[in-house]
């Protein structure tokens, strides 16, 4: 399939990932995320320090991240348009800093301010680019009862959810396409009882386990990623990950970037193989950058092609 010339040709998942150059620009889309934020301190080390040791970090940076933020920023970069982000933050200095930085990254924030502290995290990135995360504090999420402009979601082509209550999920279902991660928590998804167009998670993460029958109505698609081995779509079959030509710099945010790519493509009504391919290229590009945002795939200024963050000189973020 050449998606640029014939997006209806619909190849099978055996052809995934389709070449990035064959994927057309996304049409104008209204997209949103309902999810969480963590202020993350990234510590780069040669290897994880053994118990009782003292080591020197190779690098350090801090930025607002977490699954909700990473997906939202990736969507904004894919479309070249602001993305609405419904979230909750602590009414503290860290929350205010996170809001300012996320706005600068192209997000239109709708924040439910809480008296609880903004969640933080410490993430070690080892010499192989693998991340090890310790979170500090409770995950904050916007609730359906919060005085936020939930009616805006009825005008959205696609919404992705990482953290919400049942009421917020009900609002999110107003969108044409609704996708979510199992980290939204199965109990919340079960209580909401909404149909998901896709449930997207990692087959390698026990916290993202989903078994057939866990949700009623069942998701239209269940997408399970397996890192460098690709993943599986049910119904659909297996798909491969893009072949790499350089070492992994940082795995943080790769799965979230994949989910953003799939969500945007489904919202654009692309065939499944093209949607999974865009997700694969988003995840692969993220692996090349420092932090979750440096390598992310983005719409070229011309609007006619794709460019990886590493190719723009972004490098970190």
Q: Is the peptide bond before 172 cis (omega within 30 degrees of 0)?
A: no
The answer to whether 38 touches 289, Cβ cutoff 8 Å, is: no
Higher local confidence (pLDDT), 303 or 295:
295
Question: pLDDT tens digits for 156-199?
Answer: 999 999 999 999 999 999 999 999 999 999 999 999 999 999 99
Domain of 234, in residue numbers: 14-49+56-302
Check residue 302 and give its pLDDT.
82
pLDDT recorded at residue 311 = 63
Closest CA to 296 of 108, 78, 124, 81: 78
Q: What's the rounded Cα separation, in Å, for the pair 39 and 273?
A: 34
Give pLDDT, residue 82. Answer: 97
Backbone angles phi, psi at 8, to 5 degrees: -90, 0
What pLDDT score was predicted for residue 5? 43
Provide the b/e sequence for 198-237 (b: ≥16 CB within 10 Å). Answer: bbbbbbeeeebebeeeebeeebebbbbbebeebbbbeebe
pLDDT-derived band at 9, boundaries 50, 70, 90: low
Residue with the bigger pLDDT between 270 and 314: it is 270
Specify if 134 maps to a domain. Answer: yes
pLDDT digits (tens, 9 = 90+) for 98-139: 999 999 999 999 999 999 999 999 999 999 999 999 999 999
Share of the chain above pLDDT 70, in %: 94
Has residue 308 been placed in a domain?
Answer: no
Model confidence band, residue 74 (pLDDT cutoffs 50, 70, 90): very high
What pLDDT shows up at residue 10?
62
**Is it the case that residue 316 has pLDDT exceeding 80?**
no
- Which CATH number goes with the domain that contains 128? 3.40.1190.20
Query: Is residue 9 assigned to a domain?
Result: no
Decide if pLDDT at 315 tops 60.
no
Q: Round to whole Å and give the CA distance between 207 and 8.
A: 36
Task: List pLDDT tens digits, range 258-295.
Answer: 999 999 999 999 999 999 999 999 999 999 999 999 99
Mean pLDDT of 70-84: 97
Q: Work out the pLDDT band at 202, boundaries 50, 70, 90.
A: very high
Domain assignment present for residue 235? The answer is: yes
pLDDT in tens, 223-251: 999 999 999 999 999 999 999 999 999 99
Q: Is 281 exposed, middle or buried (0-12, 13-18, 19+ CB in 10 A)?
A: buried
6 domain residue, yes or no:
no
Is 86 part of a structural domain of the chain? yes
pLDDT at residue number 303:
81
* Closest C-alpha to 305, from 32, 19, 15, 81: 19
On the 0-12 / 13-18 / 19+ scale of CB atoms within 10 A, 72 is buried
Structural domains of the chain, count: 1
As a whole number, the mean pLDDT across the chain is 94
Alpha-carbon distance 168 to 114, whole Å? 16
Q: Which DSSP letter does residue 158 get?
A: E
Does residue 3 belong to any structural domain of this protein?
A: no
Average pLDDT value for residue range 202-212: 95
- CA 283, chain centre distance (Å): 9
3-state helix, strand, coil in the chain (%, to 5): 30, 25, 45
SS3 246: coil
Residue 51: pLDDT above 80? yes
Is a pLDDT exceeding 70 seen at residue 7? no
| Model confidence at 298: pLDDT above 50 | yes
Q: Is residue 8 part of a domain?
A: no
Per-residue pLDDT at 189: 98
| Residue 2: predicted pLDDT | 43
């Amino acid at each position: 399939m050449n998606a640029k010339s014939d997006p209806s040709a619909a190849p099978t998942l055996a052809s995934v990932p389709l070449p990035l150059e064959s994927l057309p620009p996304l049409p104008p889309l209204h997209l949103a995320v309902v999810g969480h934020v963590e202020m993350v301190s990234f510590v780069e080390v040669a290897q994880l320090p053994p118990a009782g040791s003292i080591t020197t970090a190779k690098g350090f940076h801090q930025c607002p991240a977490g699954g909700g933020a990473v997906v939202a920023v990736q969507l904004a970069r894919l479309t070249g348009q602001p993305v609405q982000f419904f979230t909750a933050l602590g009414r503290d200095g860290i929350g205010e800093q996170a809001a300012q930085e996320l706005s600068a990254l192209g997000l239109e924030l709708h924040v439910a301010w809480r008296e609880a502290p903004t969640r933080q995290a410490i993430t070690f990135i080892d010499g192989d680019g693998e991340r090890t995360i310790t979170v500090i504090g409770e995950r904050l999420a916007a609730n359906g009862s919060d005085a936020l402009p939930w009616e805006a979601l009825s005008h959205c082509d696609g919404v992705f959810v990482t953290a919400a209550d049942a009421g917020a999920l009900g609002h999110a279902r107003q969108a044409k396409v609704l996708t979510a991660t199992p980290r939204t928590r199965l109990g919340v998804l079960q209580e909401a009882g909404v149909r998901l167009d896709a449930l997207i998670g990692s087959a390698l993460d026990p916290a993202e386990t989903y078994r057939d029958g866990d949700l009623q109505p069942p998701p239209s698609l269940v997408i399970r990623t397996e890192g460098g081995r690709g993943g599986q779509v049910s119904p659909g079959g297996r798909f491969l990950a893009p072949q790499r030509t350089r070492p992994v710099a940082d795995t943080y945010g790769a799965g979230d970037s994949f989910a953003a790519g799939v969500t945007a493509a489904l919202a654009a009504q692309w065939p499944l193989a093209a949607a999974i391919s865009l997700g694969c290229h988003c995840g692969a590009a993220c692996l090349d950058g420092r932090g979750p945002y440096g390598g992310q795939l983005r719409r070229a200024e011309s609007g006619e092609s794709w460019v990886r963050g590493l190719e723009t000189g972004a490098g970190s973020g």
